[in-house]
Amino acid sequence: MYRYDEFDHAFVNERVAQFRGQVDRRLSGEISEDQFKPLRLMNGVYLQLHAYMLRIAIPYGTLNPPQLRMLAFIARKYDRGYGHFTTRQNLQFNWPALKDIPDILGHLASVEMHAIQTSGNCIRNVTADHFAGAAADEVVDPRPYAEILRQWSSLHPEFIFLPRKFKIAVTGSERDRAATQVHDIGLHAKRDAEGRLGFAYYVGGGLGRTPMIGHLINEFVPVEDLLSYTEAVLRVYNLFGRRDNKYKARIKILVHETGAAEIKRQVEEEWARIRDGALVLPQDEIHRIEAYFAPPALAAKPAASVKLNAARKVDPQLDAWVAQNTVAHKTPGYTIVTISLKPIGGTPGDATAEQMDLIADLAERYSHGEIRVSHEQNLILPHVALDDLPALHQALAAANLATANAGLVTDIIACPGLDYCALANARSIPIAQRISERFADPVRQRDVGELKIKISGCINACGHHHVGHIGILGVEKKGEEFYQLTLGGSGDETASVGEIIGPGFGYDEVVDAVETLVDTYLKVRSGPEENFLAAYRRLGQAPFKEALYGAA
Amino acid sequence: MFKAAKEGPAKVITANDLRDGLVVFLDHDGGWTHDIALARVVEDGPDLDQANAYAKAQHDARIVVEPYPIDVEVKSGVPVPVRYRERIRAEKGPTIVYGYDEVAKLQQAGGVKRATGT
């Protein structure tokens, strides 16, 4: 993975010192809360429902073991022994004291981490496919280009005060695991007929209160033009994006109101002006960054593991876990392991300090020192030998980390909701827990098959409910929690925004409603190979509506 | 001067502590408490205006952050927030167990499940 150079170290350390000074001045009264708030937000510090919250960037979701151990150390020393992995591949601590945050940032800097641009109206942490560099179906590892974008966007003086926040996601596979089409910019790295590297360039996607699917404005932006093209997009947005209304300030609204064709024209007019300037990416610089992400040297192995296959025959739990939580690696004899942070009845995305330490150890032992955070709030070990799966499974199971539910109905995305978040209108976590408990039976889960349930506790949609096969949105109605259901959303390469199925449900009713939807799907599907989303797309709302609300 | 709160609708002032960020409520002595049962209960009118002004001064004095009044219903002498959001804040944490307590809860549930063979 990328390692900081001298410039990066100096830059992050200076920033820690600067924020230490800002906190000191806040505590001593030299600056007011109004003056301090934008400064703390630029360093990832929120004031939430119960306490401060610190959001730490995990660029493109890639972590090494010393970094994960540092997060565990911070959780123990400065927080309450756990952290929360988010849908943006970040980590949040829920209980840090303001006076301690400069020290926390100092510790993070020592392992090449920070919280810069994890909040505020700037370019946020660049996210990527969590299977990057490992997936069998990958054409291009997207992380070097995510890193180039990270370097370009970090404290970019022109883009520190955008109309609103700005999120970029990059994938390098046909299968879009990074939800690129629901980002402000979504990039799909690919090669053209001549083998040259470039990006399909999507603009204007997003979730929140006005969900939109991104528009493809350029089929192929060559890699050397990545920064000039992106700068042109940001310039058009910075100039014309609305600043009069926070709720209409994202680029998706600009693209929607202006039209994708006109946005493309404006972008490419600006691009023509700057394309041959200072932002052209030199080939040697591209290769220098790519080298940081060179795949680990994996010893050649047979495609099938006799040891694993024998162990699977006698251990049904191992067998189920391997079937569900591993996917094909580009190197024969290896696999990609999803460590589920969704134990039945647990808080999606939470991990204790002990679990983080254990996963760091296991990554060193079994995954060439690599860990990934998925936007689905799980952790990934990307390079595991098939032979090592039985031992890895045993170690994970002892720490309640071996739930065999990746991609199933209990692998639920949920935002922190009203249990933690100052913006939320309703709770998300207990809904996720109760759905998870309802569908705890592993046989039933496997029968239901792939089903993405995503829960947000308010319209800001951090829980990505718009792109859930079943989306759940919590609202407040007459002082009570109330939940709207949407069906048919998807964040993959066939991205779609879910449609509201009908009147919402109370806190005590919503789990039954979800179960009704699932049972209906089981009745109407053409066969086990037709998943929930496919069945919904084929049949539409009618059978689900009737099951929930009775015949019209 | 301390007055016993009347039963029924009233207000208390809440904020977050500047240094540690935790939820606090204005108390009878002009201090801040984590326990809403010890909060000063005021009624609309001069009492509330005075409490708000005092809380604003406490914000300016860097004791608390962004104080605001919340609606409560006094029941058996204890103020209970009307809005669910404020009830959660008054409980000092999420409605679910977290961290080590959650792991213990899940392990217990798993243990019970294994023991009963379900």
**pLDDT attached to residue B109:** 83
Query: Which residues of chain B have a CB within 8 Å of the CB of A404?
Result: none
- Position A144 in a domain: yes
Mean pLDDT in residue range A509-529: 98
**pLDDT attached to residue A103:** 98
Nearest CB to A47 within list B16, B89, B106: B16
Q: Which of A28, A40, A82, A104 to mutate to test the interface with B (most CBs of B within 10 A)?
A: A82
* C-alpha dihedral (A439, A445, A449, A450), degrees to nearest 10: 50
A29 and A98 co-located in one domain: yes
Mean pLDDT in residue range A26-42: 94
CA nearest A162: which of A184, A140, A192?
A184
Shortest CA distance from A96: residue in chain B: B20
Mean pLDDT in residue range A102-130: 97
A349 CA to chain B: closest CA distance, Å? Answer: 11
Does residue A552 register a pLDDT over 70? no
Q: Using an 8 Å Cβ cutoff, are A452 and A87 in contact?
A: no
A149 and A276 co-located in one domain: yes
Query: Which residues of chain A have a CB within 8 Å of the CB of B98?
Result: 80, 82, 94, 347, 350
- Position A297 in a domain: no
What is the rounded distance in angstroms from the CA atom of residue B58 to the CA atom of residue B22?
15
**pLDDT attached to residue A1:** 85
pLDDT, mean over chain B: 90
Please answer yes or no on whether B83 and A479 come within 8 Å at the CB atom: yes
**pLDDT attached to residue B112:** 52
- Position A129 in a domain: no
A92 and A46 co-located in one domain: yes
Shortest CA distance from A400: residue in chain B: B107
DSSP one-letter code for A525: -
What is the rounded distance in angstroms from the CA atom of residue A71 to the CA atom of residue A76?
9
The size of the A-B interface in CB pairs under 8 A is 100
Shortest CA distance from B88: residue in chain A: A419
- Position A79 in a domain: yes
A94 and A152 co-located in one domain: no
- Which tens digits make up the pLDDT trace of A368-406? 999 999 999 999 999 999 999 999 999 999 999 999 999
Q: Which of B14, B17, B18 to mutate to test the interface with A (most CBs of A within 10 A)?
A: B18
Tell me the CA distances in angstroms from A390 to A71, A313, A357, A358, A393, one per residue in order: 27, 11, 20, 16, 5
Nearest CB to B21 within list A32, A98, A433: A98
Q: What is the ipTM of this complex?
A: 0.92
Does residue A207 register a pLDDT over 60? yes
Domain boundaries, chain B: 8-116
Determine which helix (DSSP H) or strand (DSSP E) holds A413, and give its type and residue range: strand A413-414
pLDDT, mean over chain A: 97
- Position A321 in a domain: yes
Q: Is the CB of A31 inside 8 Å of chain B's CB atoms? A: no
Mean pLDDT in residue range A49-54: 97
Does residue B118 register a pLDDT over 60? no
A97 CA to chain B: closest CA distance, Å? Answer: 4
Q: Is the CB of A32 inside 8 Å of chain B's CB atoms? A: yes
Q: Phi/psi class of residue A526: alpha, beta or left (left: φ > 0; alpha: ψ in -120 to 50)?
A: alpha
Count Cβ atoms within 10 A of the Cβ of residue A227 and give its class: 0-12 exposed, 13-18 middle, 19 or more buried.
Answer: buried
Query: Which residues of chain B have a CB within 8 Å of the CB of A96?
Result: 21
* Amino acid in the structure at residue A349: G
Does residue B50 register a pLDDT over 60? yes
A219 and A166 co-located in one domain: yes
Q: In angstroms, how far is the first alpha carbon of chain B from the final one?
A: 60
CA nearest A283: which of A201, A192, A222?
A222
Please answer yes or no on whether B65 and A33 come within 8 Å at the CB atom: yes
B101 CA to chain A: closest CA distance, Å? Answer: 10
- Position A124 in a domain: no
Does residue A250 register a pLDDT over 90? yes
Three-class SS state of A510: helix
Shortest CA distance from B84: residue in chain A: A479
Nearest CB to A433 within list B93, B96, B110: B96
Q: What CATH code is carried by the domain that includes residue A84?
A: 3.90.480.20
Confidence band, pLDDT 50/70/90 cuts, at residue B111: low
Residues 6+ apart with CB under 8 A from A296: A368, A369, A370, A383
Nearest CB to A419 within list B94, B99, B109: B94
User: What residue numbers bound the domain in which A278 lies?
Assistant: 135-292
* Amino acid in the structure at residue A146: A
- Which tens digits make up the pLDDT trace of A71-84? 999 999 999 999 99
Does residue B114 register a pLDDT over 80? no
What is the rounded distance in angstroms from the CA atom of residue A370 to the CA atom of residue A366?
9
Three-class SS state of A471: strand
Mean pLDDT in residue range A203-230: 97
Q: How many CA atoms lie within 13 A of A416 on its CB side?
A: 24
Q: Which of A31, A47, A49, A85 to mutate to test the interface with B (most CBs of B within 10 A)?
A: A49
A363 and A510 co-located in one domain: no
Query: Which residues of chain B have a CB within 8 Å of the CB of A48?
Result: 21
Confidence band, pLDDT 50/70/90 cuts, at residue B1: very low
H/E/C letters for each residue in chain B?
Answer: CCCCCCCEEEEEEEEEECCCCCEEEEECCCCEECCHHHECCECCCHHHHHHHHHHHHHHHCCCEEEEEEEEEEEECCEEEECCHHHHHHHCCCCCCCCCHHHHHHHHHHHHHHHHHCC
Which of A292, A315, A345 terminates a domain? The answer is A292
Q: Name the A residues in 140-179 with CB < 8 Å from any B CB.
A: none
Chain B residues whose C-beta is within 8 A of a chain A C-beta are 16, 18-23, 59-62, 65-66, 82-85, 88-89, 92-96, 98-100, 102-103, 105-107, 109-110
Query: Which residues of chain B have a CB within 8 Å of the CB of A97?
Result: 19-21
A145 and A263 co-located in one domain: yes
**pLDDT attached to residue B75:** 94
What is the rounded distance in angstroms from the CA atom of residue A313 to the CA atom of residue A319?
7
Determine which helix (DSSP H) or strand (DSSP E) holds A108, and give its type and residue range: helix A101-110
Tally of CB atoms within 10 A around A425 = 21
A419 and A500 co-located in one domain: yes
CA nearest A174: which of A531, A494, A496, A536?
A494
Total domains in chain A come to 4
Please answer yes or no on whether A345 and B106 come within 8 Å at the CB atom: yes
What is the rounded distance in angstroms from the CA atom of residue A413 to the CA atom of residue A432?
8
- Position A403 in a domain: no
Please answer yes or no on whether B95 and A346 come within 8 Å at the CB atom: no
Q: Name the A residues in 348-387 with CB < 8 Å from any B CB.
A: 350, 352, 354-355
- Which tens digits make up the pLDDT trace of A251-272? 999 999 999 999 999 999 999 9
Please answer yes or no on whether A52 and B18 come within 8 Å at the CB atom: no
Q: What CATH code is carried by the domain that includes residue A165?
A: 3.30.413.10
Q: Is the CB of A430 inside 8 Å of chain B's CB atoms? A: yes
**pLDDT attached to residue B116:** 44
What is the rounded distance in angstroms from the CA atom of residue A219 to the CA atom of residue A268?
13
What is the rounded distance in angstroms from the CA atom of residue A208 to the CA atom of residue B48?
37
**pLDDT attached to residue A293:** 96
Q: Is the CB of A84 inside 8 Å of chain B's CB atoms? A: no
A155 and A196 co-located in one domain: yes
- Which tens digits make up the pLDDT trace of A272-294? 999 999 999 999 999 999 999 99
Confidence band, pLDDT 50/70/90 cuts, at residue B5: low
Does residue B6 register a pLDDT over 50? yes
A192 and A259 co-located in one domain: yes
A429 and A366 co-located in one domain: no
Confidence band, pLDDT 50/70/90 cuts, at residue B115: very low
Please answer yes or no on whether B21 and A343 come within 8 Å at the CB atom: no
A347 and A417 co-located in one domain: no
- Which tens digits make up the pLDDT trace of A341-356? 999 999 999 999 999 9
Mean pLDDT in residue range A455-483: 96
Q: Using an 8 Å Cβ cutoff, are A123 and A158 in contact?
A: no
Q: Using an 8 Å Cβ cutoff, are A484 and A472 in contact?
A: yes
Does residue A36 register a pLDDT over 60? yes
